[in-house]
Structure 1
Amino acid sequence: MAMLNKSRNILEDFMRDGSFKWLTGTRDSFKEEIEEFENSSSGGNNWISELSPVANVVTRRCSRILEISTSDLKEDFDSVASDNVRDASYARNFLEYCCFRALTLSMQLAGYLSDKKFRRLTFDMMLAWESPAAASEPLLAVYDDATVGLEAFSRIAPAVPIIANVVISKNLFQVLTASTGGRLQYSIYEKYLIGLERFIKKLKSQSDSSLLSELRSGRREKIVEVDGTVTTQPVLQHLGISTWPGRLVLTDHALYFEPLKVVSYDKATRYDLADDLKQIVKPELTGPWGTRLFDKAVAYKSISLSEPVTIEFPELKGHSRRDYWLAIIQEILLAHKFIREYNLVGNGREEALLKAVLGIVRLQAINDMSSLGPFCCEALLLFNLCDQIPGGDMILETLAKMSTSREMQRTNSPRRRGLYSSSALAIASSLGFGFGSCEDSDRVLFVGEIAVGDTTPLEKAVNESRSSYEKVVLAQETVDGVKVDGIDTNVAVMKELLFPVIETVKCIVSLAFWEEPLKSTVFCVILTYVIFRGWHVYIFVLPLIFIAIFMLMTLWFSQGRPVVEVKVITPPAKNAMEQLLAVQNAISLAEEFIQCGNIVLLKLRALLLSISPQASTKCVILLSIVALSLAFVPTKYVIMLSFLEAFTRYSPPRRTSTERFERRLREWWYSIPAAPVSLERQKEDKKRR
């Protein structure tokens, strides 16, 4: 802490001496700075020929912050950067080097988010990132109206942890640009940063207040959100048959509910989110006298409670308020699950909690911007997002390794200092609030989420997850497109999909019942001979080989051709009374069950027809491996290994690998599209009528 205070004092001296005059000045025009370059006697020395005018201006601003000339910065970069970094996109990598160093120093100033010049600096860095090289198209003519794209935002914004991180940067950018055609305007960006500053101050004031101070003092909990203080937006707690209004408080460790008395609040009830109590937080329906009518509540269950508790968030329209609270409660719960799973302690633990808190602060700032429209809260929260997207566990594993790696801390080598940026804990201190002991808060992290001219392991994990997620989304669209309504229609679809199986079963039943004695006799003799010779294993092998060959042939010969749709003749339409009877609860459950069965069958059909080549290829390989194993491995060993596999699957040594395998299997299954379905009405036969 002493070193941190010393560095802050040095920065304040720089401000008084004018070293940060750009950050406190009034000019922000690129044209004026270009003119200053031309008129300055040292302009030629500070002008980097490889950079565009915009990148030169941004680099010069960075040099002023760092109290180093641009030529010296260039020499430093050339000395510390590897050959690959220098050779590949030199202009952009040098620009990133300057930006990261300048941001690292700028973020040590208290209240930097409230500085308009800092906000403009980060946006101009993004503009320069898009046009870094001298051959780039100039932006000076449209500087005031210039906008930023996704790649630039994803590279520069995560350098300031409060603004974004690599995992949610794309989703955040999409929310910010939902109304501007996928390009970020400075007015929206500035409004977002102003909101961040406001909610950071709110977070600090709430945590420093006396609210629940006795209950929070043991773990030094920070208050993240409070609701129920306004009479027009009450919060109701349902416990058994009793309902009581009150105030709801979320901290970084627990959820508190204070029942409302006449002029004050009663003793708060604590619902723990930190300890492993098998907590379940999910949406819930509520209503008068126990009826389930309104989808506006959150249910909390744990082994510490004799019965679940329901927290209701009444609102006139929709359930966005409930969705917001459900997301932020789950974010804190998942953050502690992440801490326990990877045994994080000390600053690693506090870093994880801070990531969750900063995510909620971002969500609050976005919610405050009414012009952005609706969005999914979970998509902007790191731990919620990793819990839902394919490969999210790999992202969390990478984050855990980063938190515990010594490479994330600052080195004393002056030649490498420029490749490091401030840790989230240090950022928290500069914003005016601390988490945990922070004894190492004056240390800095290697740019773990962003690295000059390179892709970090976290970025690779995120990119792989995004690629898988896009496949899942496309596959899910096909699933949604083939869902049909009505129990009778779903039964018709299932019958059509099961037609080959039904005909095969009919044939076997026919042989079993000796409806045609000659065929039954031949079948019985052949099967008896096969079993006698010990060839019964091929009975299971041949169908698998046949299916694999069929899928392989469709994979080779059906690419580029339109997918054959399943032709289903729908049953006659029902009258109003029949429709009302069909909506009953039991029929609805049966419909859902059959609908899910149809999805499974349509996905299997998609595999057979190689609609998803990658998935079909994997299936072909798997079927071939299974077939060969059954063909060449003695039966007794197969049975023994199968027993051991099933019996030891959830033993302690294998639990983690089994859970990971099941997750991978689910992700693979979700990525398979469903085969298309077209519904046709049955033609009326007037003669029969």
Structure 2
Amino acid sequence: MGLLEGLFGGDHSRGRGKKEHGGAVEAADMATDAAIPPLSRIAASVVHRCARIAGVPVDQLLRRFHAEEQACRPLEYARSVVEYCSYVALRVETKRQDHLGDREFHSLTYDMMLAWEAPDEETDAVFQTAFSILRDDADDDDGGSIFYSSPTQMAIQIDGRRTVGPEAFAKIAPACPAMAHPITVRNLFDALTNSTGGRLHFLIYHKYLKSLDQVLSSAKRISDGHKAPALQLSDIEVILDIYGAATTKPVLQHIGTSTWPGRLTLTNHALYFEPIGVDFSYGEAVMYDLARDLKQSVKRESTGPWGAHLFDKAVVYKSSSTSEPVFFEFPQFNGHTRRDYWFAVIKEVLHAHKFIRKYRLADFQKAEALSVATLGILRYRTVKEGFHILPAHFKTTLAFNLAEKLPKGDKILEALYGKLKQHCSRFRGSEDFGQSSSDELTLADPFPLSAYTMVRMGLLTLKEEDNPEERDFMVGDVQIGGTCSVQMALDRSVDYSGRVEAARATLDQIKVEDIDTNVAVLKELLFPLIELGKWLLVLVEWEDPLKSYVFLFCFLYMIYSGWIWFMLPGCLLGCTLLMLWHKHCGNGQLIGVFEVTTPPRRRTVEQLLALQEAISQLEAHVQAGNIFLLKLRSLMLAAFPQSTNIVAVALVVAAAAFALLPMRSIVLLILLEAYTRQMPVRKKSSEKLVRRLREWWLRIPAAPVQLLRPQDTRRWRSRLRSR
């Protein structure tokens, strides 16, 4: 068992006390519990255990369920019974502060998931058969050795329990807010089953809850003042994480060219940085408020000594309250997981406060939103520390980050806000299930809210009117036999995200790093437009006079008759018909491969020379643009009076033309002049006119420019203010 303790971490042997005399105790409990048709044996056992926890007889519990819920098919009925009884028991269990550290609670909730997955005899038989086949395969694999088998097979050999699927986990786990949240429960399941083939085993589930209990206990100790930094925190602030507490592993803060080591503390309202002094003591903390609307942004960034972008291990914070961007560097020899973790949790706090400001939440609603973010961050930290996994993008386990990233994630936040409003409109007196009669036993609150969980764990203090001991909420986040609005919005967003991921996979296939290859792909994609441009250029240059005359007369007739205004709608309609034709003829088949002939690869030195040449050309174009604007400035300020007079007359004529002539005639004259410029009859006169215009433009002087240093700029501005 030493190997198992090393793999799954902890006091697994402590929980085996009851399991070893063992499987016997659980089997005896299941044998003594009376059967409840059409429930399976494990479902009936769960119902009896839930009734004992609630302190009421089983028949009264079921009678109350029959009065509230009606199911059509046996499977739906059995599943609804398991849900109802599980939520009743979990409401009682989650009121205990130490429930996450209790192995009995782990076993109970895991059996609830098994019972929900196989609630009736028929479904249970199917799962039993599949489990027996898997266990036989595990026993036969390499003579039953646990050293050469997969993690799932090893867990089956040691523990002998069935595994849980995602649907059961998503239905039961959110009933304990510390354990999971409805928005991120599927992503949490994927993270926990990353190495077990998409099925959750009890050993991993037990390790997760035990690690989560340790993280929550650590947060509780810090909030009580043990190992807490000397910060002036408000009563509603909760410390989420600290990095740099050891002076040998500090956070490096970069502002401009200055760098300072220190300690970074994140709360649910702000970010605090405490610089380390010469005597290795912490100085006064600098606070970066994450709760106010200061146009704040957080990004991943590279940093290094003297501002050099060498190491991709930093987070840059910008806001209207800081004159310069603030870089927080998290030194790490390999990779940048530490930076990615801090980036994610800081973004979660920012998004939570953005949600609060958007819907103008206050009092308990605000506390609930911050509690959702706080528990999500602590779960995220648990997965990182216990399983060395940092779920990112659409797989993140942070609720507000996920809602911001998912397509149509705003609908998830709208549904979450609707639930918060529903909670606050359904106040009622609390009840104790252990002392309730069958008539008082309701599912008005199937599980406590996140804020109440924070209060019971000592991480949050609510106002007197929101005290969970005095009032309770009627919660509908988990519906018996149904799906809540938050879950429906999440399912729609996940469906869209699947399409986005599929589209992103196609993008990854065509991304190439060579600039020449990218240019070749671009030329092939634009080949029809390039050929059309070449054909129009041949007509404009009058290389074939007959074709040019025919095109000119057709174009003039289209403008004169007014057909020119139907060209754009006609093109759009033609594209629509082409798309529909391909849809009809393609029958949903994949697009054919687009073949591109790659140019010969160039050496690194040649690529650097080409890059230098491109930069030089870009610089020349920028200079030409500046010269053009400075000459216009000279004309506008009459620095060259004779040219200014000419430009003024030209502008007056243009204004009169636009005022007196119809737009059709103006467009006709402009196109006719541009098209006939290379016509044999006009070619010499056009070249002469262009030459004269160029010579006239070259005679215009540019407006003077004086370049000032930054200190000279400040001195010049102060001089203007004094005037």
Q: TM-score range by the shorter chain?
A: 0.7 to 0.9
Q: Which residue of 2 aligns with 1:519?
A: 547
Mapping of residues 67-466 of structure 1, within 5 Å: 67-81=55-69, 83=70, 89-138=76-125, 144-209=160-225, 211=228, 215-217=232-234, 220-261=236-277, 262-370=279-387, 372-373=388-389, 375-376=391-392, 379-406=396-423, 409=426, 411=428, 414=440, 416-417=442-443, 420-437=446-463, 439-442=465-468, 443-466=471-494
- Match of residue 657 from structure 1: none
> What whole-Å deviation, never above 9, does each CA across 1:384-429 have from its counterpart, x for those lacking one?
1111111111111111111122477455694643563211122122
* Shift, 1:481, TM fit: 0.4
Secondary structure at 1:439's aligned position in 2? helix
Correspondence for 2:501 among 470, 473, 486 = 473
Matches of 1:419 and 1:353, distance apart in 2: 20
Q: 1:330 is matched by which residue type in structure 2? A: K
- The answer on whether the counterparts of 1:410 and 1:446 sit within 8 Å (CA) in structure 2 is yes
| 1:351-374 Cα shifts (integer Å, max 9, x gaps) | 11111110111011111214x555
Query: Which amino acid in structure 1 is aligned with residue 353 of structure 2?
Result: H
**CA distance in structure 1 between the aligned counterparts of 2:582 and 2:330, rounded to whole angstroms:** 53
| Equivalent position SS for 1:58 | helix
Moved more, 160-169 or 567-576: 567-576
Would you say the 8 A contact 1:297–1:312 is kept in 2? yes
Q: By how many angstroms is 1:309 displaced?
A: 1.3
Q: Structure 1 residues 533 and 293 mapped into 2: Cα distance closer, same or farther (>3 Å)?
A: same
Paired position in structure 2 for 1:648: none
Q: 1-side partners of 2:384 and 2:570: how far apart?
A: 59
Q: Distance in 2 between matches of 1:270 and 1:237?
A: 13
Match of 1:271, SS state, is strand
Instruction: Indicate if the aligned counterparts of 2:542 and 2:548 stay in contact, CA closer than 8 A.
Output: yes
Q: Which runs of 5+ in 1 are unaligned?
A: 1-22, 591-634, 637-689
CA contact (8 A) 1:426 1:444 kept: no
Between the aligned partners of 1:224 and 1:585, the Cα distance in structure 2 is: 51
Any gaps of 5 or more consecutive residues in structure 2? 1-14, 136-158, 430-438, 619-662, 665-723
**Superposed displacement of residue 110, structure 1:** 1.9
Cα distance in 2 for partners of 1:147, 1:408 equals: 40
For 1:563, the aligned partner's letter is: I
Query: Which moved further from structure 2: 503-512 or 70-79?
Result: 503-512
C-alpha distance 524-583 of structure 1, shift in aligned 2 (>3 A): closer
The number of residues matched between the two structures is 562
CA offset at residue 171 of structure 1?
1.2
Q: CA deviation at 1:206?
A: 1.2
Deviations 1:496-551 (A, max 9, x none): 10011111122222223332222222222222222222222221121111111110
Amino acid of the structure 1 residue aligned with 2:171 = R
Asked if the contact 2:116/2:168 (under 8 Å) is kept, the reply is yes
Instruction: Classify the secondary structure of the residue corresponding to 2:122.
Output: coil
CA shift in 2, pair 1:70/1:585, >3 Å: farther
Q: Secondary structure at the match of 1:542?
A: helix
User: Equivalents in 2 of 1:150, 1:26: separation in Å?
Assistant: 27
- How far has the Cα of 1:342 moved from its partner? 0.8
Q: 1:575 to 1:244 in 2, by over 3 A?
A: closer
| Percent sequence identity over aligned pairs | 41
Helix, strand or coil at the partner of 1:421: coil
Question: CA distance change for structure 1 residues 106 and 132 in 2, over 3 Å: closer, same or farther?
Answer: same
Render the CA deviation track for 1:463-495: whole Å, top value 9, x for unaligned: 001111111001100001011221111111111
Partner Cα separation in structure 2 for residue 530 and residue 213 of structure 1? 80
Superposed CA deviations along residues 316-355 of structure 1, whole A, max 9, x for unmatched, are 1111111111111111111101100111111100111111
Name the SS for the 1:536 alignment partner.
helix
* Greater radius of gyration (CA): 2
- Distance in 1 (CA, whole Å) between partners of 2:91 and 2:581 is 57
AA aligned opposite 2:375: L
Shift of residue 586, structure 1, vs aligned partner: 7.0
What is the CA RMSD across the aligned residues, in angstroms? 2.9
- Per-residue deviation, 1:24: 14
Distance 1:437 1:407 in 2: 14
User: Structure 2 CA distance, aligned partners of 1:388 and 1:340?
Assistant: 19
Q: Kindly state the Cα deviation for residue 31 of structure 1 after the two structures are TM-superposed.
A: 6.0
Matched to 1:437, the amino acid is: K
Q: Is the 8 A contact 1:85 1:453 kept in 2?
A: no
CA distance in structure 2 between the aligned counterparts of 1:74 and 1:584, rounded to whole angstroms: 79
Give the TM-score of the pair, scaled to structure 2: 0.73
Distance in 2 between the 1:113 and 1:174 partners? Answer: 21
